[in-house]
Amino acid sequence: MALQRHKREKSLRESEEKFRTFLETASNLMNNADRDGNITYVNESMAKTLGYSKEELIGMHITQLLTKEALEIVFKPNWEEFKREGEIDLETTFATKEGREIYGELKAVAVYDSDGKYAGSRAVFHDLTDKNKAEEELRKSKEIRRALYEKSRDGYVIVKGNGEFMDARPRFCDIAGYSMEER
């Protein structure tokens, strides 16, 4: 009997260690909070990304990590519903210790005690900051190219593979002898 208990305990420790390693090495930011919103656990990615030590984050209220805008627009309007419904999936913005904004997708689930009362939360945050920056740079690049195209004095034309005109600069119409409607 003692041998079986020892094997179960060893198996449980190994399982816990695997799970802990999984959480600590995950690239997503993960945290647990108590019923009052105070952080009780953070993984290494969350601490590193936000510029805090894990010790600094433990005990901090989750709202201290949100930007003021995210607190007012995202957190406050959704908090009571989250506790009632038990889950939330939204986009929000955290602020690092240095004040830099980290934008991403937050998925959280509520934890309830044996009486069914809200006891805390578990959350995963996927950082989309770099993706958003790349999309914004692409958008700006397209705007610049479009502005250059629109303001150019050269005669540009965009033609589909079948020879159909998609767009033409007025200067092209002047050079080719077409009207804008004929292009």
State whether residue 97 is helix, strand or coil. coil
Residue 162, CA atoms < 13 Å, CB-side half-sphere? 2
Domains defined along the chain, listed by start: 2-129 (3.30.450.20), 133-176 (no CATH)
Contact 120, 35 (CB under 8 A): yes
Strand partners, 33: 39, 121
Q: How many helices (H) and strands (E) would you count in the chain? A: 7, 7
Q: What is the pLDDT of residue 164?
A: 82
Dump pLDDT digits (tens) for 19-46: 455 455 557 899 999 999 999 999 999 9
Q: Tens-of-pLDDT digits for all 183 residues of the chain? A: 776 776 776 665 665 665 455 455 557 899 999 999 999 999 999 999 999 999 999 999 999 999 999 989 888 888 888 888 899 999 999 999 999 999 999 999 999 999 999 999 999 999 887 777 767 777 887 787 777 767 777 777 788 888 787 777 777 777 877 776 765
Global confidence as pTM: 0.63
3-class SS at 162? coil
Query: Rounded CA gap, 161 and 181, in Å?
Result: 20
